[in-house]
Amino acid sequence: MITVTREDFARLPVEPLVPHAGPEAGWIPVNSPTVLYVEPTDQILDTTLLGTPVQVRAIPVSYTWSMGDGGTITTTKRGKPYPSEEVAYYYETEGWYDITLTTTFAGQFSVNGGPWQDIDGTITIDSTPVPLYSNSLESRLVNPDSTEPPEPIVPDRTPDTEGHPNPRAGHETR
């Protein structure tokens, strides 16, 4: 009898999901919704145990967003692109923040094309952080004949432009 354990599952090359945060421009106004979403897909991994072909399916079941200012959100919702605010966060101060997604995957396995069986336990995979600048917008004079809207000033990332911890930030479960 062949079985796949949580430890076996954890050794497989499950790919991190690609997080989206923003808008895609790389900056967001302070106190505006930072929309978070991911496009989850099951992953099928082929392996061999005791000379028998086995497929393992990694299924995203929850998402933990670490917002870089001390705030975190754990949800089973994948979120949706703007204008949805199904999963959103608000920065209170200006600065650069790294948003990190940790995805929890449940697993199933199929031995030699047989029925799918659950793997006891889950694994977590961290995605590459998404840098985002939270900008305190200021009004400024612009050329009235210009057809292009002025872009906000987004500074280079330096120790002086890093975001600050939010003492009110906590963990939300949605």
Decide if 34 is inside a domain.
Answer: yes
Report pLDDT for 24. Answer: 75
Report pLDDT for 120. Answer: 97
Decide if 169 is inside a domain.
Answer: no
Decide if 173 is inside a domain.
Answer: no
Rounded CA separation 54/113 (Å): 8
Report pLDDT for 90. Answer: 95
CATH number, domain containing residue 41:
2.60.40.10
Report pLDDT for 121. Answer: 97
Decide if 27 is inside a domain.
Answer: yes
Decide if 50 is inside a domain.
Answer: yes
Structurally, the chain folds into a number of domains equal to 1
Rounded CA separation 27/20 (Å): 12
Look up the domain containing 132 and give its range. 6-163
> The whole model's pTM is what?
0.88
Decide if 171 is inside a domain.
Answer: no
Closest CA to 88 of 35, 126, 43: 35
Rounded CA separation 142/174 (Å): 42
SS3 130: strand
Report pLDDT for 40. Answer: 86
**Class of residue 56 by CB neighbours under 10 A (exposed 0-12, middle 13-18, buried 19+):** buried
Place of tokens 């990190």: 100
Closest CA to 60 of 37, 82, 83, 81: 37
Decide if 107 is inside a domain.
Answer: yes
Decide if 104 is inside a domain.
Answer: yes
Encode the chain (174 residues) as per-residue pLDDT tens digits. Answer: 889 999 999 999 999 999 999 887 788 999 999 999 999 899 999 998 889 999 999 999 999 999 999 999 999 999 999 889 999 999 999 999 999 999 999 999 999 999 999 999 999 999 999 999 999 876 666 666 766 656 667 889 999 999 999 999 999 998
